[in-house]
Amino acid sequence: MLKKISWKFRKTHITIIPLAIYINARWEGWGFDILKISSGLYEYSLLRMTWELPNGAEKKLKFSGDFLFLRTSLLKEDADIDERMLWGRVSKWDEIKHWALNLIFR
């Protein structure tokens, strides 16, 4: 029975972290994650807030966050709109969404 379960889930790789606190972590800076779910190369968070503090050289204050698992899906949508803009098939609504998403994420 355990062999069947192991075989069925052999390609499923999910990590669930209820609370993560970053204090000058590897590349995360300072902040926290509440209910972080990693699946494949994508990460989703119920609430994430991180800050990278300036170090006196070139590094500036930088903030990143996630709310209600929306960041990854919105970044995918922005990439799709970028590709449509590259090939010239973009509507006025797509231009407005692209402007808003760039305002939020860049």
Q: How many structural domains are present in the chain?
A: 2
Does one domain contain both 60 and 77? Answer: no
Does one domain contain both 49 and 94? Answer: no
Does one domain contain both 77 and 53? Answer: no
Does one domain contain both 74 and 104? Answer: yes
Say what the pLDDT of residue 94 is: 85
Does one domain contain both 58 and 78? Answer: no
Does one domain contain both 64 and 74? Answer: no
Q: Which residues are 42's β-sheet partners?
A: 39
pTM above 0.75, yes or no: no
Say what the pLDDT of residue 19 is: 92
CA 71 to chain centre: 5
Does one domain contain both 10 and 50? Answer: yes
Q: What is the pLDDT along the chain (106 residues), one digit of tens a residue?
A: 888 988 988 888 889 999 988 888 776 678 888 898 888 888 888 888 888 777 666 666 666 777 788 888 888 888 888 888 888 878 888 888 888 888 877 7
Supply 96's token pair: 């407005």
The boundaries of the domain holding residue 106 are 70-106
Q: Are 44 and 72 in contact (CB under 8 A)?
A: yes
Supply 15's token pair: 């990590």
- Give the CB-side neighbour count of residue 1, counting CA atoms within 13 A: 0
